[in-house]
Structure 1
């Protein structure tokens, strides 16, 4: 059977490879001591009670048939209200498109906007699947090296310097996976101005926006103007990962083209998940989400100082999400391995701690970095630190 080139050329999602290796190790040797998973970006919290109850009501009430391709009007309205209440930004519900997760939102945006050969600029490191969405639309994903000096985010100067005749736009993330860092409002504004000068597109992945911990950040890119395209999700802040529900905010002119694509590619997002998501915006649910946000921040504040004490440097403290991007070069030398890939498997096999190796996220110094997901309990995070300490210091 002949396999299409796009399928042959796609890179593995290495964090999943680590997960497979962890599962094989447990199957082979048992789960004693228990494997601690700091490799997957999934909240350990599940959907709160009102959301679960809303799903049950939808099923028992027979609200399980197709919705509009772009989602329930009531859910689009609730998201619009959330933008106004949480961020003080007016977003018309007609610009909001409900999708089958943020992944579908990114796919729809890329298919609607990218022609074959168009280049999209991204920071390096960045979330690996974002590159794949661009390439699946026959575009070219070009990573621009970033470092701690810019908080691992692109600058307007870099975008201006790398813009070419075939460049179509930028795909940013704020807060970012894997670094947990956000774009300052002025930096984002400056980048968007460069893009607009070239008649390009600014796509911003905001799926971790609700999990922002620093007053200097945490503002939606939609505050700039309606030409911004924002991707968001119910998975992270709203704790609905497996429900596969997200949304896209687009300029008015893009609604109809994306609706046609959604009709053909997805029919509609999960009806049950949409009815359940309406309950995310009830006062009790929002209060619970804020308690969880505080818990994630407390985990960050517990974990990072101890990680640094072990010799794993965190050059920029994350201001959002639940990731820590740590330089493991010194720690790797201490146990006699050359880089983060080998160090990740040493942690897996000798400490039973699963983490994401840097090679998943680009090519800029990734052999020196690991991504820790702190979407785990305080007890497990402390146990992971203790195990790494024994490995590194005996």
Structure 2
């Protein structure tokens, strides 16, 4: 008799992880002295944790600190530091009691979704989108509702799109800067969306993990400034360059504080203690982190200047994060195959657009430019040679 397989077993793959594996295999197969693989597939900074963060962890281990469980919502000192960050950066008073330290942003999403939504609830989001939004919702029995966006709206949702939804969704996820397009909502746009959600009983979930990484004229703003009912997700992975430390946070509305705490107690107990110590120290590493950002800005400028000559001349307005979302419909209608051939022929790993949108994504790919600066500078030349430009 066949055994039952749960709903979660049907979750689609996060394709970028498959690309990582393929790029690793390609790099391992290269002969000695051959040019290496340029890694542009994953949003992982080429820099590690800032020195001050690593040193704080080392000191804690050297003195023999127990590093046991913390409270489910994290160290009180770290939560206070995050609250201070909102006051200093955004001028927003967020009490530490509404902040939950999580196992990365990836651990924050299921906590937020389970607390805010029920099985069968529809949650809207712009398409293209960060794949785990939809995959986690689906695994939890919720229904992603996609809002097809394009360059005309800078790949961001609009109130006009939301007003056409009938019936209204239970929730809306926004991301600014967003993944994969790197575009941002201006403060007045985020405020308008937050107000619309408040008037219509739609729970707003604002993904702000790329805050700190913006390059254009659009100012960063937090949904916490515009709504007391919104859920804000952030992380130490991107601006703070601490991907493997697995530390994120939630800013919660009052009605979800205890529900999320109970879920966190049961699902995760707490985020890693030593990583929380390092994260708290990372707030004192601004000079190093801003130097990292300057590297990304130089790589971004070089790619925006060099990619068009290689044939990648249809690029989304890249306000922030560290991604370029390229329309390659004039080169292929199969981005999965194109990225596989690009890895083999040019030695460049990129993420096919189908990871971010199954249908229209076949004509897009995403380049990440947070890797080693020299690699980013070399990428356009490799692509020109491969495509015979």
* TM-score grouping bracket, smaller chain normalisation: over 0.9
Q: How has the CA–CA distance of structure 1 residues 42 and 311 changed in structure 2, closer, same or farther, with 3 Å as cutoff?
A: same
Secondary structure of the residue that 2:308 maps to in structure 1?
helix
Look up the SS of the partner of 1:123 in the other structure: strand
Candidates 49, 52, 60, aligned match of 1:47: 49
Aligned equivalent of 2:387:
392
Number of aligned positions between the proteins: 386
Displacement of 1:154 in angstroms is: 0.4
Pick which of 260-269 and 188-197 moved more: 188-197
Residue 148 of structure 1 contacts residue 315 of structure 1 at CA under 8 Å; is this kept in 2?
no
- Asked if 1:102 is matched to 2:105, the reply is yes
SS in 1 for 2:145: strand
- Counterpart among 226, 234, 237 of residue 235 in structure 1: 237
The 1-side partners of 2:217 and 2:98 are apart by 27
Structure 2 distance, partners of 1:68, 1:7, is 28
Q: Which residue of 1 aligns with 2:367?
A: 372
Unpaired stretches in structure 1, ≥5 consecutive residues:
333-337
Runs of 4+ residues deviating >4 angstroms = none
5 Å matches for 1:19-98?
Answer: 19-30=20-31, 32-61=34-63, 62-98=65-101
Is 1:357–1:369's contact at 8 Å kept on the other side of the alignment? Answer: yes
1:200 is matched with which residue?
202
| Aligned residue number for residue 287 of structure 1 | 287
- Check conservation: 1:182, 1:319, Cα contact below 8 A: yes
TM-score between both structures, scaled by the size of structure 2: 0.95
Q: CA deviation at 1:163?
A: 4.1
Within 2, Cα distance between the matches of 1:50 and 1:163?
51
1:363 to 350, 358, 379: 358
CA deviation string 1:105-152 (max 9, x = no partner): 111000111111100001110100111221222110111100001110
Aligned counterparts, 1:134-283, within 5 A: 134-164=137-167, 167-282=169-284
Q: TM-score, normalised by structure 1?
A: 0.94
Alignment correspondent of 1:335: none
CA gap 1:55/1:178 in 2 versus in 1, 3 angstroms? same
Structure 2 counterpart SS, 1:179: coil
Unpaired runs of at least 5, structure 2: none
Does the 8 Å contact 1:151/1:316 carry over to 2?
yes
How far did 1:217 drift? Answer: 2.5
- Aligned position for 1:305: 305
Q: Which residue of 1 aligns with 2:377?
A: 382
